[in-house]
């Protein structure tokens, strides 16, 4: 798949996911990893890790599972934490959001 074709398909899916309630859809440009897109659905409390394939001949489910099944290993319950990365006293620090001011 060419980079431009893949990017176009990923962007199409990004718009679809946003229409279905995803608040944040992050695209891993030129991804060589397992997930091309990460979508966060805050109302459902779900995070989706998505591998996009835009081949002319769709791969079999067995091949997808063999090549990208490791995404399933990432399923589970996670604790979500929010931070801001800000400059304080001349250096950048991660500050937890919320709690003490």
Contact 84, 97 (CB under 8 A): yes
Sequence ranges of the domains in the chain: 3-96
Q: For 17-59, write each residue's pLDDT tens digit.
A: 999 999 999 988 666 778 889 999 999 999 999 998 878 888 8
Q: For 55-95, write each residue's pLDDT tens digit.
A: 888 889 999 999 888 999 999 998 888 899 999 999 999 99
In this predicted structure, what is the pLDDT of residue 79? Answer: 87
Q: Which of 46, 43, 49, 58 is nearest to 13 (CA)?
A: 49
In this predicted structure, what is the pLDDT of residue 81? Answer: 87
Q: Is the pLDDT of residue 101 over 80?
A: no
């Amino acid at each position: 798949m060419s980079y431009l074709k893949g990017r176009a398909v990923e962007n199409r899916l990004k718009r679809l996911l946003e229409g279905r309630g995803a608040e944040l859809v992050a695209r891993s440009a030129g991804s060589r990893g397992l997930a091309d897109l990460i979508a966060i659905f805050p109302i459902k409390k779900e995070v989706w890790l998505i591998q996009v394939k835009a081949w002319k001949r769709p791969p079999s489910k067995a091949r997808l599972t063999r090549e990208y099944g490791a995404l399933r290993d990432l399923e589970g319950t996670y604790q979500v934490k929010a931070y801001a990365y800000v400059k304080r006293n001349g250096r950048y620090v991660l500050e937890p959001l919320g709690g003490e001011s």
